Amino acid sequence: MKIVLFGAQGQLGLTLQQTLPAAGYQLIALSRAELDISDEQKLRATLTDLMPDAIINAAAYTAVDTAETDDLAARAANAAGPKLLASWAAENKCWLLHISTDFVFSGRMYRPYTPTDQTDPLSIYGRTKLEGELHVRYLAPEYSLVLRTSWVYSQFGRNFLKTMLRLMAEKNSLNVVDDQIGTPTSTWGLARCIDAALQQKATGILHWSDAGVASWYDFAVAIQDEAVRAGLLQKAVPIKPIPGTAYPTPAKRPSFSVLDKRDTIAQLHCEPAHWRHELINVINAMRSS
């Protein structure tokens, strides 16, 4: 199967550049510098030239706070680009896997969000990602899968894990929000789910994260424990739980965005590992690199 991957230099893109060729797929991985997905002419010409069997869209404007004042750029990457991809995919009967986010939800739910639950994003990032989802599902219903995920991290790029490791090495103590609840998701577990989805060319909307739930505070404490154990940090610093109101950010975030993965597990036969196990794997990989 020939796959074109967009967002190749992002943390998910870099992971897929390792896992997909290893699983036997022919992969053409394009970074933003090589192809901006909102450039209609270039996008169409490239796809028509390559004629892939599948497209994976891991490209996105992911700077959640900056998006509040940069909505044109966020909309170009998160809504206009996916619209162009979906329209090409439908015209050419090509399967499109589009990655989306738990931030399409408001977090007012009292149980994990299912794929059919009402979306009501709180931020520009969430709104533009939702617009992208709607274009994909409307334009290519028979050829697209929207895969929502949450709290993504890896050893690559910018993410909470890497920010915490830097701050823990620099500071004498840290305050971390403990009233936002979700599930950390390693790009490696997500890549396993993507492989399963590719094999079936699944369609619709599905949810994926690692197993279990955590607050950002829980995640930070686990990161520090595992990083000290692995020798990535020399010492532990005190970590204090604080409410989100004590750490105001330009973008509002859902206070609860756990994703219900039962449909995904049943349909793709892909079981997530507990987030802490995935964290240990990523930290061990960082130690040996």
Ligand X SMILES: NC(=O)c1ccc[n+]([C@@H]2O[C@H](COP(=O)([O-])OP(=O)(O)OC[C@H]3O[C@@H](n4cnc5c(N)ncnc54)[C@H](OP(=O)(O)O)[C@@H]3O)[C@@H](O)[C@H]2O)c1
Q: Is 87 in the site for ligand X (CB under 6 A)?
A: no
CB of 81 to ligand X, least distance (A): 5
**9 binds ligand X per the rule CB under 6 A:** yes
Interface segment toward ligand X; rule CB under 6 A; list 94-102, 113-121, 250-258, 259-267: 94-102
* Spatial separation of the C-alpha atoms in residues 104 and 214, rounded to whole Å: 19
Query: Which residues sit opposite 125 in a β-bridge?
Result: none
Q: Report the nearest approach of ligand X to the CB of residue 172 (Å).
A: 27
Q: How far apart, in Å, are the Cα atoms of 138 and each of 4, 54, 133, 175, 213?
A: 21, 18, 8, 43, 32
260 backbone dihedrals φ, ψ, rounded to 5°:
-85, 120
Is 212 or 228 the residue whose CB approaches ligand X more closely?
212
94 contacts ligand X (rule: CB under 6 A): no
Residue 75 neighbours by CB under 8 Å, 6+ apart: 128, 131
Q: How far, in Å, CA of 215 to CA of 178, rounded? A: 5
Taking CA 277 as the corner, what is the angle to CA 272 and CA 280, rounded to the nearest 5 degrees?
140
Judged by CB under 6 A, does residue 259 bind ligand X?
no
Closer to ligand X by CB, 7 or 112: give it.
7
Per CB under 6 A, contacts with ligand X among 38-57 are: 38
Known active-site residue 153: no
Taking the C-alpha atoms of residue 236 and residue 33, their distance in angstroms, rounded to an integer, is 39
Q: Binding to ligand X by residue 36, rule CB under 6 A? A: yes
CA–CA distance from 64 to each of 60, 174, 242 (Å)? 11, 22, 20
Question: Residue 63 and residue 73: Cα distance in Å, rounded?
Answer: 11
Least Cβ distance, residue 273 to ligand X (angstroms) = 18
Nearest to residue 56, comparing CAs of 9, 22, 8, 104? 8
Residue 272 binds to ligand X (criterion: CB under 6 A): no
Among 77, 146, 194, 197, interactor with ligand X by CB under 6 A? 77
Does residue 157 interact with ligand X by CB under 6 A?
yes
The least CB distance from residue 119 to ligand X, in Å, is: 14
Burial of 93 (0-12, 13-18, 19+ CB in 10 A): exposed
State yes or no: residue 197 binds ligand X (CB under 6 A): no
Please say which residue, 139 or 146, places its beta carbon nearer to ligand X. Answer: 146
- Residue 61 in the binding site for ligand X (CB under 6 A): yes
Cα torsion 212, 251, 217, 211 to 10°: value is 10
Residue nearest to ligand X (CB): 10
Strand, helix or coil for residue 60: coil
Contact call for residue 99 and ligand X (CB under 6 A)? yes
81, 107, 121, 272: which one contacts ligand X (CB under 6 A)? 81
Give the span between the Cα atoms of 104 and 85, in whole angstroms. Answer: 20
CA distance 61 to 168: 27
Member of 17, 18, 32, 179 binding ligand X (CB under 6 A): 32
Catalytic residue chosen out of the listed positions 125, 143, 153, 217: 125
The site that binds ligand X (CB under 6 A) totals a number of residues, namely 28
Q: Any contact of residue 115 with ligand X (CB under 6 A)?
A: no
Please identify every residue annotated as catalytic.
125
Residues within the interface to ligand X (CB under 6 A): 6-7, 9-13, 32, 36-38, 58-62, 76-77, 81, 99, 101-102, 129, 149-152, 157
